[in-house]
């Protein structure tokens, strides 16, 4: 049974802007679900959140940060001790190596402070474009739009993008979303993906965007068809 494909064309700019207005009204308190008190804690939490729920990370990080409250402490940690703490987050061998290495670089190369520049952030272990964007937007208030699996799926279903990679999707979204709202738009799309536009089947009957959504309209015409995203998903590893 084949999945419903993403729309082949983007919606008009006028429709896209109206969709964004509705998302903003629907999620007025949009913010990262990862609990943190400073850029260091957010960075480590985002690294741990790869292929793991934010809720699970929020259970894990208080224990981790109680033992390693600063990069200098985590930089000297035993990998086995960190693995024991973060095991429930999955991929704990690699994540332990990455958070220790990132902390070491922060301590040794950046004076113990998480850098606020994309190039420097992406030079840290376990930090790719998405992770850097999350930290820039949420820790430093910089305009940055992060594309995770929810953003990728919802943006395609709404016809905001036809991009094949996260970077393609980011470029399409930043071309239509006002720059000062890039970080917020990330959260609007994530929250909508979790609450309504689920994989594999969206809850279109509850969606405030239904009248403007090409995928929703297609499903109304053919309700028996499954609504998962086209099998051509993100053509990269999970967006880190």
DSSP assignment of 123-172: TSTT--HHHHHHHHHHHH--------HHHHHHHHHHTS---SSHHHHHHH
* Domain co-membership, 43 together with 136: yes
pLDDT given for residue 1 in this prediction: 31
Looking at residue 159, which CATH number applies to its domain?
A: 1.10.1670.10
Annotated catalytic residue, options 105, 148, 172, 240: 148
Residue 3 lies in a domain: no
Looking at residue 134, which CATH number applies to its domain?
A: 1.10.340.30
pLDDT given for residue 233 in this prediction: 52
* Domain co-membership, 118 together with 188: no
Which of 83, 109, 140 lies at the terminal end of a domain, its last residue?
A: 140
How far apart are the C-alpha atoms of 73 and 76, rounded to whole Å?
6
Q: Which of the residue ranges 170-174, 181-185, 229-233 would you say has the lowest mean pLDDT?
A: 229-233
pLDDT given for residue 2 in this prediction: 42
Residue 237 lies in a domain: no
Percent of all residues in the chain with a pLDDT value above 70, rounded to a whole number? 91
User: If you average pLDDT over residues 21-41, what whole number do you get?
Assistant: 97
How far apart are the C-alpha atoms of 132 and 57, rounded to whole Å?
18
* Domain co-membership, 69 together with 131: yes
Residue 87 lies in a domain: yes
Residue in this structure with the two tokens 């909508």, named with its chain if needed: 192
- Structural domain count, the chain: 2
* Domain co-membership, 102 together with 22: no
pLDDT given for residue 4 in this prediction: 67
How far apart are the C-alpha atoms of 166 and 61, rounded to whole Å?
27
Q: Name the nearest CA neighbour of 175 among 41, 20, 32.
A: 20
pLDDT over 60 at 234, yes or no: no
Residue 2 lies in a domain: no
Q: Count of CB atoms within 10 A of residue 128's CB?
A: 18
- Mean pLDDT of the residues in the chain: 92
* Domain co-membership, 204 together with 131: no
Which of 140, 161, 184 lies at the terminal end of a domain, its last residue?
A: 140
For this structure, is 148 an active site residue? yes
* Domain co-membership, 102 together with 178: no
Annotated catalytic residue, options 10, 95, 105, 130: 130
Q: Count of CB atoms within 10 A of residue 194's CB?
A: 14
* Domain co-membership, 127 together with 208: no
The pTM score is: 0.89
Q: Which of the residue ranges 49-63, 170-184, 218-232 would you say has the lowest mean pLDDT?
A: 218-232
Residue 5 lies in a domain: no
pLDDT over 80 at 222, yes or no: no
* Domain co-membership, 74 together with 46: yes
The domain in which residue 79 lies consists of: 39-140
pLDDT given for residue 240 in this prediction: 62
Percent of all residues in the chain with a pLDDT value above 90, rounded to a whole number? 88
Q: Count of CB atoms within 10 A of residue 63's CB?
A: 12
* Domain co-membership, 133 together with 170: no
Considering only the C-alpha atoms of the chain, give the largest distance between any 2 of them, rounded to a whole number of Å.
Answer: 59
User: If you average pLDDT over residues 136-154, what whole number do you get?
Assistant: 97
* Domain co-membership, 44 together with 133: yes
For this structure, is 198 an active site residue? no
pLDDT band at 188 (very low <50, low <70, confident <90, very high): very high
pLDDT over 90 at 86, yes or no: yes
pLDDT over 80 at 22, yes or no: yes
* Domain co-membership, 26 together with 115: no
What would the pLDDT profile of 34-59 be if each residue is shown by its tens digit? 999 999 999 999 999 999 999 999 99
What would the pLDDT profile of 100-139 be if each residue is shown by its tens digit? 999 999 999 999 999 999 999 999 999 999 999 999 999 9
């Amino acid at each position: 049974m084949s999945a419903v494909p993403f729309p082949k064309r983007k919606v008009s700019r006028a429709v896209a802007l109206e969709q964004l207005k509705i998302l903003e009204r629907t999620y007025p308190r949009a913010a990262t679900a990862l609990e943190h008190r400073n850029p260091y804690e957010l960075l480590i939490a985002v690294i741990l959140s790869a292929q793991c729920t934010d809720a699970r990370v929020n259970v894990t990080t208080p224990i981790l940060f109680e033992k390693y409250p600063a990069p200098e402490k985590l930089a000297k940690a035993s990998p086995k001790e960190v693995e024991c703490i973060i095991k429930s987050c999955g991929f704990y061998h690699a994540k332990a190596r990455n958070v220790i290495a990132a902390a070491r670089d922060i301590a040794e190369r950046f004076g113990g402070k998480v850098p606020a520049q994309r190039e420097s952030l992406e030079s840290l272990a376990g930090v790719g474009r998405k992770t850097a964007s999350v930290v820039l937007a949420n820790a430093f208030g910089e305009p940055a739009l992060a594309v995770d699996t929810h953003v990728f799926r919802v943006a395609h279903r709404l016809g905001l993008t036809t991009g094949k990679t996260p970077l393609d999707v980011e470029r399409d979204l930043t071309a239509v979303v006002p720059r000062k709202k890039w970080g917020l738009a990330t959260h609007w799309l994530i929250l909508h993906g979790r609450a309504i536009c689920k994989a594999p089947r969206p809850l279109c009957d509850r969606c405030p965007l239904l009248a403007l959504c090409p995928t929703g309209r297609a499903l109304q015409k053919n309700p028996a068809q499954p609504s998962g995203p086209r099998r051509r998903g993100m053509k990269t590893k999970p967006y880190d």
